[in-house]
């Protein structure tokens, strides 16, 4: 059984692996890791399309998100469209130019997923998914209390 420290470092090690495997993409497309993350986030289409949504879901500071959005816009990967009801918000839309970046970045994620789960059976994966889901639920419930 993992000790608390080992569980915490597992996430950090996975992040390090993703960053190392993403380096060629960052060089190829002239992007930073955070910008790749934002493009993948937007491509998922599940969590919202504003800078505020990105900050909340990805836990990234307003300054980093703002700078990254400016860079992505300047490079032609995204466009912004002002919200009709609340002009303080801009919705972020992916441009066709971002398709290749996202496709390559998702391949990197898939490679890392295969590394992470190598040698783990389907039954163990299902059990792991249940455990992680419960752990996430426990954290969410505790944070609501605070």
Range of the domain at 43: 4-145
Residue-level pLDDT at 120 = 95
Residue-level pLDDT at 83 = 83
Give the CATH number of the domain where residue 107 resides: 1.10.10.10
Distance between CA atoms of residues 91 and 5, nearest Å: 39
The residue with tokens 């990254």 is: 68
The residue with tokens 């639920």 is: 137
Query: Are 60 and 34 spatial neighbours (Cβ–Cβ below 8 Å)?
Result: yes
Residue-level pLDDT at 3 = 66
Is the pLDDT reported for residue 126 higher than 80?
yes
Is the pLDDT reported for residue 85 higher than 90?
no
Q: How many domains does the chain have?
A: 1
- Could you tell me the pLDDT band of residue 59, with boundaries at 50, 70 and 90? confident
- CA–chain centroid gap for 131, Å, is 21
pTM of the model: 0.81
- Could you tell me the pLDDT band of residue 2, with boundaries at 50, 70 and 90? low
Is the pLDDT reported for residue 51 higher than 60?
yes
Residue-level pLDDT at 89 = 86
Coil, strand or helix at 93: strand
Is the pLDDT reported for residue 34 higher than 80?
yes
């Amino acid at each position: 059984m993992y000790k608390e420290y080992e569980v915490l470092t597992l996430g950090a090690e996975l992040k390090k692996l993703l960053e190392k495997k993403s380096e060629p993409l960052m060089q190829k497309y002239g992007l930073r890791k955070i910008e790749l993350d934002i493009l993948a986030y937007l491509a998922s289409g599940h969590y919202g399309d504003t800078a505020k949504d990105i900050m909340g879901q990805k836990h990234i500071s307003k300054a980093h998100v703002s700078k990254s959005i400016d860079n992505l816009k300047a490079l032609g990967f995204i466009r912004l469209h002002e919200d009709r009801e609340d002009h303080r918000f801009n919705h972020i839309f992916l441009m066709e130019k971002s398709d290749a970046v996202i496709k390559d970045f998702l391949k990197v994620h898939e490679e890392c997923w295969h590394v992470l789960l190598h040698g783990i059976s389907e039954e163990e994966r299902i059990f792991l998914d249940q455990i992680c889901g419960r752990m996430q639920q426990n954290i969410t419930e505790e944070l609501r209390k605070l």
